[in-house]
Amino acid sequence: MTQPFRLPGVGRLDAGKPLAFTFDGKSYTGREGDTLASALLANGVHLVGRSFKYHRPRGFLSAGPEEPNALVGIHRDAARKTPNVRATVQELYDGLAAVSQNRWPSLAFDIGAISDLNAPLFSAGFYYKTFKWPRAAWDRLYEPAIRRAAGLGNAPDKPDPDHYANRFAHCDVLVIGAGPAGLAAALAACETGARVILADEQPVPGGRLRFEADARIEGKSGWDWAEETVARLAARDNVRVLTRTTGFGYYAQNMIGLVERVTDHLANPDPNAPRERLWQVRAKRVVLATGAIERHMVFPDNDRPGIMLASSARTYLNHFGVAVGNRIAVYAAEDSAYAAAIDLKKHGVGIAAIIDSRAAPESPAVEEARALGIDVLAGHAVIGTDGRLRVRRVHVAPISGGPHREFQVDALLTSSGWTPAVHLFSQSRGKLAFDEATQRFLPGLYVQDAVSVGSCNGTFDLASSVNEAFDAGAKVAKEAGFRKPRARQMEASSGTPWSIGMAGASPGVEPGTSKMAFVDFQNDVTAKDIRQAVREGMRSIEHVKRFTTTGMATDQGKTSNLHGLAIASQMLGKPIPEVGLTTFRPPYTPVTFGALVGHSRGRLFEPTRRTPTHDWAKAQGAVFEDVGQWKRARYFPQVGEDMHAAVARESRTVRETAGIFDASTLGKIEVVGPDAARFMELMYTNPWAKLGVGRCRYGIMLREDGFIYDDGVVGRIAEDRFHVTTTTGGAPRVLHHMEDYLQTEFPDLKVWLTSTSEQWAVIAVQGPRSREIIAPFVEGIDISDEAMPHMSVREGRVCGVPARLFRISFTGERGFEINVPADYGLSVWKSIWAEGQKHGACAYGTETMHVLRAEKGFIIVGQETDGTVTPDDAGLSWAIGRKKADFVGIRGLRRPDLVAEGRKQLVGLKTVDPQIVLDEGAQIVADPDQPVPMKMIGHVTSSYWSSNCGRSIALALIENGRARMGERLYVPMPDEMVEAEVTSTIFFDEKGERLHG
């Protein structure tokens, strides 16, 4: 028989076409609207997992997101294997395949369960105490073994093929939770015209109305009212209803994180649909209607499959039409559990007994239970259970002493009361207050614009709850700027009784007992563990938590925290608020990394910036390198060439004829205004006032501390306009640095800064033939050496488009840099390239650029400098305006350390064996025979093979470097000691004659 525990005509699911699914390879059927849990229960399956530490058989504790036990793997395909899915949350779809976790070889027979027999060994703090010695064994032996035995599901081993979406949203009122309170609040708020978002983690809103079948609101059954209300809300333009959406994080200034599960419930999701969508909502007001979570009773062997929360059994019955057993007992310390027994009894399910730990429970529900013929045992406790893979027998005894009784059962429902779900309130930094009368933590002091309504606010009575929520919804809408709606009294009633309940160990689980009465199911923490923690000196709940791991599993102790706290408080003899409550942290329930990452993966992980000539370079076979977000052509290998050969050829060609280089990524800043020169004087070490229009200067920028921050060539375009260039990587920070000083230190200057990095494509043509190559394309500019000497800039046209032409050189050759508006870059490049070909020029990349500049001893900021190098250290004292009264860094440069003798200075290094190319970053020593650790006197900053010099060359920062010219120093490498001579930083064309052709 299929689904033997599904009761005909009961519940709200459609009995239509059954859905097929498997659990551990075995086939079952369920109904549309089932969760995996309800479908398994319909088939009489309670055993679904093994516990984390003791491998004890476990079933379903709950019917919702608080589930600690029923964690399974959902396997859609090879890449989609999601571990640790709560079976009570996973909706059933046709073809669903679920597997149990943490068992071997099978769920029913698990070798790891030996841990259960050894449980006395594995007491709280066991790991801390046991595996301390020898230290090395922890990494190699203990930890790997423990990790194999413990842990839950396995992480997927393939890249996630799903995609995830993100949405920012704003609203006036965000309501979290669509139970009766949330619905009432949303209703009141939306009627004012406020923009409302209503989010609920369930597929269908209704909250407690799912199980509370006896509820009536506004003359309808509670469930019908909820469905109609949701439909009304969803139909409104100013309301967005999000189902399957969990409010998981409450951040600053009413920023709420919601995660919407879009496809996990579908058999064949639309491939364009994201699996999940992260909602980042900024709400003017937040209404928390997050309900309450039922607690279990802490009694011996309270973790067997078939033992579950009373309201959950009621949900399975009233919503899913499933009886969780044929003969059921109830163990409670409060009234609402009676409703479960009553509902089940009315549907013909056998109720063995209601065991109530209270001496004399008084409630209409108690009377009704008795009237239905249910055996109510007041003042009794469950002192034990039997049943290996499912609860089979319950042992009951009067608390005051007396004969034991046994009941044959196949399920046991428990409830010790309800814990208001104050997680989000607490995350909002609100202060919780302990309510002595009802023994609950309730929202106290609010620090954000939020309000709690209904059960999470401690208001359990249905009529009070919906009216409190309606009033709150109206109030927050008014606070958000809308007219308050007409006050009205909502009519509501429910037969479900509410009472205070208890927290902590049940009677019979006294200190000293060796019985396992579980507090935290997911981390296998018992009452005994918590007591032991206190005995061993833990005084605060924060200590107890870390010592025992209670509340630290993925369910974050939703069902267990209050029990743990109550047991600790009893042991300490202090009231609960003095022992404290652990902090609630996001996420409320687990959130996938995918949801948090959203679109930011693959090619959308980070912007990839390409220059206008990128595709051309790619077609030429260029090898690219990443420079910040940019892709830059590193070298252009011809057939058969490796990087070494390509760079050797490119560097030779530049010096013999010419090379063409894409310098578009250089940062560019237009400095404009009557005070432009004054501003430049302040930002750079160099003098600028007297720089003529049409002239360029190499500038150095310091930080306040006197160290080099950036460098670049600056051209004066007009009296009030400079064209500043920066390093590629420095572009954004240099602009920010300038803007920062302009706005905070020099706000009186009439000057403005505009990034033009991407306005211009920059084509560098360098080499003896550079002028001939560009000449045919240049209009309106005399590019003769006389009219346009080195370090000059002219405006004119190149290839018929407006251009800024610079005569500058980062190679030591005669060179030009053509700046044209970026969209023309490719076209101009192609023209120059075609002309260059006639002269035997080549395209060259960043690697050759680096070699050529190193041959000339030109520094690269970030390579020769590391944030501790002054202009003098780098041999650039000449670039400091000696007569200048002020510039950023001028005082820094006078600091004693920066003018002291013995600073590291930039020098050249030539290896004695010219074939050896030193490693960049290698350390340098003076005496190769000194004992290790040797005194390191500097390091290699740049090192290349120079085909133009026919040998290796290197730059290095060395203590007193400039005083060591000609000295032999040593570079210790793993396999040899390399000898090198200190030289000038200039290796090629020392007099600089080639600049001028």
**Window of 640-648, 771-779, 908-916, 960-968 that interacts with another protein by CB under 8 A:** 771-779
User: Residue 565, exposed/middle/buried by CB under 10 A (0-12, 13-18, 19+)?
Assistant: buried
Three-class DSSP category at 89: coil
532 strand-pairing partners: none
599 binds another protein (CB under 8 A): yes
Q: How far is the CB of 270 from another protein (least distance, A)?
A: 5
606 binds another protein (CB under 8 A): yes
Nearest to 808 by CA among 770, 755, 761: 770
Q: How far is the CB of 682 from another protein (least distance, A)?
A: 17
* Residues 426 and 432 sit within 8 Å (Cβ to Cβ): yes
759 binds another protein (CB under 8 A): yes
Nearest to 802 by CA among 776, 831, 822: 822
The interface with another protein within residues 647-676 (CB under 8 A) comprises 670, 672-674
246 binds another protein (CB under 8 A): no
CA distance 813 to 993: 8
319 versus 668: smaller Cβ distance to another protein:
668
CA distance 662 to 646: 17
Nearest to 587 by CA among 247, 262, 293: 247
CB count, 10 Å around CB of 901? 7
934 binds another protein (CB under 8 A): no
Q: How far is the CB of 336 from another protein (least distance, A)?
A: 37
749 binds another protein (CB under 8 A): no
668 versus 853: smaller Cβ distance to another protein:
668
* Residues 648 and 951 sit within 8 Å (Cβ to Cβ): no
831 binds another protein (CB under 8 A): yes
Q: How far is the CB of 199 from another protein (least distance, A)?
A: 13
* Residues 415 and 311 sit within 8 Å (Cβ to Cβ): yes
CA distance 142 to 524: 20
| Token pair listed for 807 | 């005569």
6 binds another protein (CB under 8 A): no
254 binds another protein (CB under 8 A): no
CA distance 232 to 240: 11
Q: How far is the CB of 754 from another protein (least distance, A)?
A: 4
CA distance 516 to 511: 12
Nearest to 704 by CA among 746, 741, 753, 750: 741
Exactly one of 800, 840, 992, 997 binds another protein (CB under 8 A); which one?
A: 800
601 versus 652: smaller Cβ distance to another protein:
601
Q: How far is the CB of 475 from another protein (least distance, A)?
A: 22
Q: Could you tell me the sign of the dihedral formed by the alpha carbons of 524, 526, 531, 532, in that order?
A: negative
* Residues 768 and 658 sit within 8 Å (Cβ to Cβ): yes
243 binds another protein (CB under 8 A): no
Q: Provide CB contacts within 8 A for 290, sequence distance 6+.
A: 176, 177, 247, 421, 422, 423, 424, 452, 456
2 binds another protein (CB under 8 A): no
Q: 């369910």: which residue's tokens?
A: 555
CA distance 408 to 410: 7
| Token pair listed for 660 | 């063409």
292 versus 778: smaller Cβ distance to another protein:
778
| Token pair listed for 828 | 């101009």
Q: How far is the CB of 671 from another protein (least distance, A)?
A: 9
* Residues 797 and 788 sit within 8 Å (Cβ to Cβ): no
| Token pair listed for 856 | 């000339």
**Window of 80-88, 224-232, 541-549, 776-784 that interacts with another protein by CB under 8 A:** 776-784
945 binds another protein (CB under 8 A): no
Exactly one of 752, 783, 796, 979 binds another protein (CB under 8 A); which one?
A: 752
716 binds another protein (CB under 8 A): no
Exactly one of 375, 656, 758, 989 binds another protein (CB under 8 A); which one?
A: 758
757 binds another protein (CB under 8 A): yes
163 binds another protein (CB under 8 A): yes
489 binds another protein (CB under 8 A): no
Exactly one of 36, 176, 217, 262 binds another protein (CB under 8 A); which one?
A: 262
Q: How far is the CB of 828 from another protein (least distance, A)?
A: 5
776 binds another protein (CB under 8 A): yes
7 versus 273: smaller Cβ distance to another protein:
273
Q: How far is the CB of 790 from another protein (least distance, A)?
A: 25
Q: How far is the CB of 281 from another protein (least distance, A)?
A: 10
Amino acid symbol at 544: V
CA distance 954 to 918: 7
Q: 């009122």: which residue's tokens?
A: 173
| Token pair listed for 271 | 């491939």
CB count, 10 Å around CB of 356? 24
Q: How far is the CB of 396 from another protein (least distance, A)?
A: 52
439 binds another protein (CB under 8 A): no
Exactly one of 295, 531, 609, 994 binds another protein (CB under 8 A); which one?
A: 609
598 versus 938: smaller Cβ distance to another protein:
598
**Window of 30-38, 114-122, 607-615, 929-937 that interacts with another protein by CB under 8 A:** 607-615
Q: How far is the CB of 192 from another protein (least distance, A)?
A: 14
321 versus 825: smaller Cβ distance to another protein:
825
Q: Could you tell me the sign of the dihedral formed by the alpha carbons of 355, 361, 365, 369, in that order?
A: positive
233 versus 646: smaller Cβ distance to another protein:
233
Spell out the alpha helix ranges (H) of 222-274.
Answer: 222-234
CA distance 350 to 325: 8
**Window of 8-16, 246-254, 752-760, 901-909 that interacts with another protein by CB under 8 A:** 752-760
Q: How many residues bind another protein (CB under 8 A)?
A: 60
Q: Which residues bind another protein (CB under 8 A)?
A: 163, 165-170, 195, 262, 270, 272-274, 277, 280, 282, 599-600, 603-604, 606-612, 629-630, 670, 672-674, 750-752, 754-760, 776-777, 779, 798-801, 820-828, 831
